[in-house]
Homo-oligomer: A and B are copies of this chain.
Amino acid sequence: MARAKNILFIMFDQLRWDYLSCYGHPHLKTPHLDRLAARGVRFTRCYVQSPVCGASRMSTYTGRYVHSHGASYNNFPLRVGEQTLGDHLRKIGVECWLVGKTHMKADAEGMARLGLASDSVIGARVAECGFDAWVREDGLHGEGPAGLYDTKRSPYNEYLKSQGYGGHNPWHDHANSGVAGGEVASGWLMKNAPLAAHIHEEDSETPWLTDRAMEFMAAKAGGAPWLCHLSYIKPHWPYIVPAPYHDMFGPEHVSPVVRDARERQDPHPIYRAFMENLIGRSFSRDEVRDAVIPAYMGLIKQCDDQMGRLFRWMEETGAMEDTLIVATSDHGDYLGDHWLGEKDLFHEPSVKVPLIVYDPAPEADATRGTVCDELVEQIDLAATFVDHHGAPVPDHVLEGRSLLPFLRGEQPEWREFAISEYDYSTAPMADELGVAPRDARLFMVADKRWKFMHAEGGFRPMLFDMDADPQEFRDLGGDPEYADIVAMMRARLAKWARRMSQRTALSDAAVLAIRGKTMESGILIGVHDGEEIPAKFHAAYHGPVRPLPERE
């Protein structure tokens, strides 16, 4: 059988790595994603390149580190000219479509500078991070005194209105709120998380996007090969889910919190600032965790049920046998572990994500149901997709590496450490810490044993021994006994930082093709009397004497 024609690249948002039963969750059963894992390879050390939506996704969609593309936080524009998955795939005849969320912010100033109109095909792709948008819906329709957080049109709100849901923002009032005392009980307030979202389950965000994906696949059947980025909005906050998922889980299913009093004793100043912010304080309260985590589990259960629906449909239509499927997330969720909520820092619940890759090709038969413990970076996916289509990976642009060898049971030489980054320059904590906007940056360097965090701005590092302390309670960054490990990790970070990441307009092969060729074009440097010219060029440079051209 030839390789699968299409790629279904499924991303969940804020799905913590250990909240699937195939990754060991004791109470949350996710049989459909488990089954995908049983038919594919499950990666246990997949790190996102930034534990926050926008930056993580820009890395995944460009196949490049945050330090390389510069869109280092939510709504930081991806500069015009940066190449995306869509650029690489279309070049090899593969369409690249979006169904769902990207968190892409267009570089409007850069587009204007280059005269790119967002209603042109090229401009639209630049504005949509290289995707052709079947549906673009970020599901972030917060609204406050300054207006809407996301001012783009919302296909999902349009859909809800078409179905008769009232109000000007049914995303909020129905899909992400409950009802209490006959009033809207906003899902923004975590106390409302146990309520049922005020919406028919089949109209909520996750089934709605599943419908759009099936609609896409049905419409594209028999056409050109495609990658479809099915990018779910959930289980990302607001933490609220419709019936029957809202009460499937209760506080009795909440995993014990992973935190330790030692973490609050003389913590790293940046870690302390995150622990002390509103999010950290809230998620350190049992009542918050007991309200939120069952809803979060319900959202994931709904996602898994939708996977079941989708995969069944794909099996019925035969698509399952002709589609490479990837399922992952853009980052995790602390959920109160380490006295933190949300994401942002580099503990495993935040920076590690689930990653399952299923390839229907017989070459992958030997690895079905296996687990890969190598250090994977999510930027590896872009290279994987190009490699899947048999094209050479443009490694002067893409900084990740194809994962296909792991599906074929090969043992490639692999990276020794993974990198993640975080930019907290928009956080008020940067003020409190006295850090300039360009110094509010963190780098993680992790190998299989050590996890190191470097902070710009003159702070000491953080360091965890993942073997001795897998729960990451004991920060060794200031312990002189580990100075050699700190030095090793710093040297790795330095080498990585010096990497050649911007020579993107010329491949290594092109460099080799012009190596030592200037003399062939008559650039004779260091030649005194011509005897130095290699014999093969003698005819050209020592040929018959040319007549002297005179000024006429």
Binding site for B on A (CB under 8 A): 67-72, 75-83, 87, 107, 109-110, 113-116, 120, 122, 126, 140, 142-149, 163-167, 170, 172-174, 179, 182-184, 186, 188-191, 198, 200, 237, 277-283, 285, 287-288, 291, 341-342, 396, 423, 425-428, 430-431, 436-438, 441, 443, 454, 456, 490, 493-494, 497-506, 508, 511-512, 514-530, 532, 537, 539-541, 545-546, 548-552
Residues A148 and B549 in contact, CB atoms below 8 Å apart? no
B122 x A166 contact (CB < 8 A): no
In the bound complex, do residue A78 and residue B505 qualify as a contact, i.e. CB atoms below 8 Å apart? yes
Q: Are B437 and A528 in contact (CB under 8 A)?
A: no
Lowest 10 CB-CB distances: which A-B pairs, in order? A81-B81, A70-B502, A142-B522, A166-B549, A167-B549, A279-B526, A494-B494, A144-B522, A497-B497, A149-B521
Distance from A25 Cβ to chain B, minimum over Cβ atoms (Å): 24
Is the beta-carbon distance between B143 and A521 smaller than 8 angstroms? yes
A505 contact set on B, CB distance < 8 A: 70-71, 76-80, 107, 109-110
B183 touches A546 (CB 8 A): yes
Residue among B87, B189, B456 making CB contact with A528, cutoff 8 Å: B189
A124 CB → nearest B CB, Å: 12
12 contacting pairs across A/B (C-beta < 8 A): A70-B504, A72-B500, A110-B505, A113-B122, A170-B549, A184-B545, A189-B524, A278-B525, A288-B528, A426-B515, A428-B516, A441-B500
Q: Are A426 and B516 in contact (CB under 8 A)?
A: yes
- Complex partner residue of A502 from B67, B200, B277, CB under 8 angstroms: B67
Using Cβ atoms and an 8 Å threshold, which residues of chain B touch A148?
Answer: 521-522
Task: Report the minimal beta-carbon distance from A209 to chain B, rounded to whole angstroms.
Answer: 20
User: Do B503 and A164 touch (CB < 8 A)?
Assistant: no
The answer to whether B147 and A521 touch across the interface, beta carbons within 8 angstroms, is yes
Tell whether A537 pairs with B189 under 8 Å between CB atoms, given A77-B505, A164-B551, A443-B498. Answer: no
Is A427 touching B144 in the complex (CB atoms < 8 A)? no
Q: Could you say which residues of chain B place their CB within 8 Å of the CB of A126? A: 114
B79, A508: Cβ atoms closer than 8 Å: no
Name the distance in Å between A85's Cβ and chain B's nearest Cβ.
13
* Identity of the chain B residue whose Cβ is nearest the Cβ of A396 in the assembled complex: B438
| A146 adjacent to B521 (CB under 8 Å) | yes
Name the B residues within 8 Å of A165 (CB-CB).
Answer: 549, 551-552
B456 close to A498 (CB less than 8 A): yes
Which residue of chain B lies nearest to A540 when distances are taken between CB atoms in the complex?
B145
- Report yes or no: B67 in contact with A551, Cβ–Cβ below 8 A: no
Smallest Cβ-Cβ distance to A530: which chain B residue: B189
Whether B191 lies near A548 (C-beta < 8 A) is: no
**A115 with B122: CB separation less than 8 A:** yes
- A456 contacts across to B, CB distance below 8 A: 498
What distance in Å separates the Cβ of A526 from its nearest Cβ neighbour in chain B?
Answer: 3
From the candidates B183, B502, B508, B548, name the one contacting A437 in the complex (CB within 8 A).
B508
Whole-angstrom distance between the Cβ of A259 and the nearest chain B Cβ: 16
Query: Could you tell me if A146 and B81 are in contact, using CB atoms closer than 8 angstroms?
Result: no
Q: Are B527 and A278 in contact, with the CB atoms below 8 A?
A: yes
* B-chain residues with CB within 8 Å of residue A515 when the two chains form the complex: 425-428, 430-431
Provide the residues of chain B in CB contact with A431, threshold 8 Å. 515
**A309 CB → nearest B CB, Å:** 23
- Establish whether residues A120 and B115, one from each chain, have CB atoms under 8 Å apart when the complex forms: yes
Task: Pick from A174, A342, A504, A506 the residue with the most CB of B within 10 Å.
Answer: A506
Contacts of A116 in B (CB 8 A): 114-115
What residue of chain B has the Cβ atom nearest to residue A424's Cβ? B515
Residues of B within 8 A of A502 (CB): 67-70, 79, 502
Please tell me if the beta carbons of B170 and A342 are within 8 angstroms of each other in the complex: no
Chain B neighbourhood of A277, CB < 8 A: 526
Asked whether A188 lies within 8 Å of B503 as measured between CB atoms, the reply is: no
Whether B81 pairs with A500 at a CB distance below 8 angstroms is: no
Question: Are B526's CB and A278's CB within 8 A?
Answer: yes
CB-defined contacts of A522 to chain B, threshold 8 Å: 142-144, 148-149, 172, 188
Query: When the two chains form the complex, which single residue of B79, B427, B430 contacts A81, counting CB atoms closer than 8 Å?
Result: B79
Which residues does chain B contribute within 8 Å of A282, judged by CB atoms? 526-528, 532
Chain B residues with Cβ below 8 Å from A280 are 526
